Structure 1
Amino acid sequence: MTDKNKLLRLQGDIEEIRNRRIQQFVLVCILLLVTLSIVAVLSAQISIMVYMMICVVLLCGTLLLLRRGQTTLASHIILAVTLFCIFQSMWDGSGLRSAAVIAYPAVLLLAMVMVGTRSFYVVSASMLLYIVILSVATMNGWRTGTEATRGYLTMIDHLAVLAASTFLIRVLASDLLLLLARLRQELVEVEQSKLAAEHLAYHDNLTGLPNR
């Protein structure tokens, strides 16, 4: 195996680990959605079961994309499906008091680490906008059969918490990505040094020809 092939193999191993983590996240989401779908059927909430199963199908599709190496497309679909599930759960549930709000920081971290900075800002803006829409819909009675909230006070509270979480996750994720990039570079440099040492051990320093 040539030096170049060894370096490419090292980079491929790092990318494989990243894809494996994404696949594990998708499998957990699928298991969770299937469980919630069963609960929805038992509760006679057929509409909720339908959109959850659609999300399961989309997530299964991302597994195929990941196997084909289309990580970027798969990551965007995963983020979109995750956001849709959270938004729909809040709309059908207790609005801003829904437990789905807890998932916001995790999704932000996922967007930053898995996709990139641009997706992080898109997801952040989507969350903030949806909180405003949800609050207005609740106060005007556009959502039926849900628990009333404290109106603008609740909206301001959630926006403040989400804004603070967004800033904190942005800083932490940036540091994490920087450390990972440095670690990757150091691994490549170590591998290059190792290959250079092996070359010097078995080749002549002046001619570069293999030793006899």
Structure 2
Amino acid sequence: MMTTKMMRGAAEGAGTVLCCHLDPQDRVQAVGGAWDMAARLNGGEGAFAEEVLGRPIWAFVSGDETRSYLNALFFWCRSRGGTFRTRYQYDTAALRRRCVMEISPLRSGLLKVESRLAGVGPPAPRDAPPVAPGGEIRRCSICLRAAAGEAWRPCGHPAPGGPPVRYVVCGACRADAADALREADMRLAVLDAGGGAGGGAGRGDDRRAGGGAGG
């Protein structure tokens, strides 16, 4: 979900999981899973474990709108004690990749952010991304659709050396996340009013919000 170079470095097998822990200031505290292998496979210069530890996650997120989107999700998970899960696309010129990101609160303001590769397939034949009047491509970080006037439509992978790409979050993906959080807040209100069924492991399932990208 996101346009982080790190969390999108998905290896080529479905089920591959990458994980990072963020401290309360959103600095990368630890990484796990096939992190360095994914960075190596995806040409992630500057994204190996020893290079990201201690650095703010925002150094690896492209676009102010994407940072704002993620920051809102981080705030919700920390303040409500809930887990947020969303689907997103990470396509390349040669592969179509469907991923799932899950953000979970830990102790003392820490967060765990996991990204799992859910499926891989050949790229669908699509038109080149439309270029906005300013000479750039506006592409959603979550679903990878590109802006074509007021509409958003699927498109092919931007060509190397082509117009600059500005990553944003389209209205549909913002609405999906907002709806998921509202539904989760309603469940939490009922849960809190009823005392929370003991507050054990089952409560975590009730505190989960989910959004999704159309892809």
TM-score (norm: length of structure 2):
0.30
Structure ranking higher in helix proportion: 1
Structure ranking higher in strand proportion: 2
Larger Rg: 1
TM-score (norm: length of structure 1):
0.30
